[in-house]
Each structure stands twice: as C-alpha cells, then as structure tokens.
C-alpha cells in the first residue's frame, strides 16, 4: 500500500486527510502542534513522531506548512527523500527554492489549492517540470482530486495567475456577497432574508455556470431583458467601471504573488 506523508497537519493537510481517508492510500502526518496531530488522527491519518519518521514511511510527501516554515522542514527531511515525490502546496514557494534545499533530481510538483478544498469543492492549479514522470503527475492529480478539481499549467509563472484567480478568488465572491447583503439590508430586508437570497443566488449561478452549457457571459445575457431591472443594474456596474476594477484587482494579486515568490 502506498503511503502519503503530510509535513504539517493544519487546515489544508486536514482537508487532504478528510478527502483521502477512504482511499487505498495510507496517510501519515507530523506537526509540532499536538492538537493538530490529534485532529489528523481523528480524521483518519496515522501520526508520526517527527517529520523524518513520517517521510521514512511514505512514498509521497506533501509539504503543508506555511511558506516561511517550508525551508526549515525541507532541511530536516532532505536526506530522507530518496525516490519520493515531493508535492508542495505552499503559496509563493518556487521549485527553485525547494530544489535548493533538496538533492538534485528530486521530483517536485507545486500545487496551488484554494480554501473551498476544506469542503472538497476546491480547484488546484498544478505545475511540474519535465523531469517529473507522467506516473508521478497522475499520482499528484489523484491526490489533489480528493479536495476538488485540478488543472495543470504549463509554466511555473502561470501559478501566479492561478493564485490571483482561484487562490484569492473565493474572497472576491465573498466580497460581492457581502456588498449585496449590505445593499439588501439598506433597501429594507432583514439580515436573515438577504443572506438566504444572496447565498442561494451565488450558489445557483455557480451551478448554472458549472453545467458548462453556456459561458458566464451568455448566461448573463440570457437573464438581461432590454429595459428591465437586470439591465439597469448592469448598466450601473458599467458606468462605475466594474470590469476595470476586477481586472486591476486580479493583476495586482498576480504581481503580489510574484513579489512574494521573489522575497
Ligand atoms: N488553507 C488553505 O485553504 C490553503 C490554500 C492554498 C494553499 N495553502 C498553503 O498550504 C500551506 C499550509 O496552510 P494551512 O492553512 O494548512 O496552514 P496551518 O493551518 O497554519 O497549518 C500549518 C501547520 O504546519 C505546522 N508546521 C510548522 N512548521 C512545521 C514543520 N517544520 N514541520 C511540520 N509542521 C510544521 C504549523 O505549526 P505551527 O503553528 O507551530 O507553525 C501548523 O500546524 C501554506 O503554505 C499555504 O500557502 C493553504
């Protein structure tokens, strides 16, 4: 049976453990926080005494620490990684930065999940260099599929755009929901009523887009009757340059991601 070791057992590792607990993989985790290990164990992972202990019993290693803790964790396990696939989910930590600590030719895959992974509705952008085998890529994809959908990008730089779109993206939708809730309140509805209306509308719209029968642009046009209420609202967005505001925000998030990966 193949084993997966989690270096760090915080939120994202717990999402993986939950997603993979009924799979054929054996899961093992280490975290300096005993309470994190307790949660990991409850969710279905074995716990290790140290990172080295976790890695020595696994074929695949997933780095799940915060970016500033990655280097320290890698230094600890670097001598014990022979023939192991290393997957890092740490935002902004480049393959060059990881490789600098590990032995040459260690297969490394970078993955950029997002928060809905916690409810198995995430999307993970993946990148691997040419030296990573198809078998290893398939393995990484299967692991990431346990927390949602997956998508490969063809250059590591593209992960900065993934970060700006899907990594930070849940917050953009939450922001729109927050403002719609506020607007509904100001127009006179109760909090409970507006929340229900806005959240279900977001869910329904996402589900319609997810069917893939029509583009979001076409779906928008379909619900916009000439001279109607939706048109009045969309015209107001247009006048206020909503499109430019969204594009600028994504661009700035991408630039921030680049800046963080270079620091
Ligand atoms: N959460 C998400 O939705 C999400 C989405 C995309 C990417 N990510 C990436 O996933 C990584 C983890 O995020 P998270 O939200 O799961 O963070 P988290 O909940 O803080 O979990 C990280 C855990 O790693 C532990 N840790 C620190 N140093 C360690 C070491 N040397 N060896 C083993 N464990 C160590 C931490 O302990 P201490 O508290 O003692 O440091 C903490 O319990 C980040 O790099 C983030 O960029 C997360």
Question: Three-class SS of residue 133?
Answer: coil
**Alpha helices in the chain, H assignment, sequence order:** 11-20, 34-43, 51-56, 67-77, 95-99, 134-145, 158-162, 169-186, 191-210, 216-222, 229-239, 242-262
Show the ligand 1 pocket: residues with CB < 6 angstroms. Answer: 7-8, 10-13, 30-33, 36, 51, 64-67, 69, 72-73, 89-91, 113-115, 117
Q: Considering only residues 23 and 173, tell me which one the structure prediction assigns the higher pLDDT.
A: 173
d(CA 213, CA 51): 46
Give the pTM.
0.91
Q: What is the pLDDT of residue 261?
A: 87
Mutate to test the pocket of ligand 1, among 7, 9, 11, 39 (most ligand atoms within 8 A of CB): 11
d(CA 3, CA 234): 51
pLDDT tops 90 at residue 151: yes
pLDDT band at 1 (very low <50, low <70, confident <90, very high): low
Q: What is the pLDDT of residues 24-54, one digit of tens each?
A: 999 999 999 999 999 999 999 999 999 999 9
C-alpha 67 – ligand 1 centre gap (Å): 8
Q: What is the pLDDT of residues 97-139, one digit of tens each?
A: 999 999 878 999 999 999 999 999 999 999 999 889 999 999 9
pLDDT tops 80 at residue 209: yes
Domains plus CATH for the chain?
3-162 (3.40.50.720), 169-262 (1.10.3730.10)
């Amino acid at each position: 049976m193949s084993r997966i070791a989690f270096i760090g057992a915080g939120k994202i590792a717990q999402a993986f453990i939950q997603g993979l607990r009924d799979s054929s993989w054996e899961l093992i985790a280490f975290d300096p926080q005993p309470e994190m290990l307790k949660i990991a164990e409850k969710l279905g992972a074995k716990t290790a005494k140290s990172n080295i202990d976790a890695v020595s019993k696994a074929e695949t290693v997933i780095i799940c620490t915060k970016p500033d803790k990655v280097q320290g964790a890698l230094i600890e396990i670097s001598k014990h990684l022979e023939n192991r696939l290393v997957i890092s989910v740490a935002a902004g930590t480049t393959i060059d930065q990881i490789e600098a600590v590990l032995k040459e030719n260690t297969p490394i895959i970078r993955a950029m999940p997002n928060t809905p992974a916690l409810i198995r509705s995430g999307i993970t952008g993946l990148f691997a260099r040419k030296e990573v085998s198809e078998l290893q890529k398939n393995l990484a994809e299967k692991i990431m599929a346990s927390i949602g959908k997956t998508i490969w990008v063809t250059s590591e730089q593209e992960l900065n755009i993934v970060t700006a779109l899907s990594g930070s993206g849940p917050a953009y939708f939450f922001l729109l929901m927050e403002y719609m809730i506020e607007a509904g309140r100001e127009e006179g509805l109760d909090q409970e009523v507006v929340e229900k209306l806005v959240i279900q509308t977001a869910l329904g719209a996402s589900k319609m887009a997810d069917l893939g029968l029509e583009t979001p642009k076409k779906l928008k046009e379909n619900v916009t009757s000439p001279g109607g209420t939706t048109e009045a609202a969309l015209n107001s967005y247009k006048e206020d340059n909503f499109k430019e505001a969204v594009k600028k925000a994504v661009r700035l998030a991408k630039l921030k991601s680049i800046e963080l990966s270079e620091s």
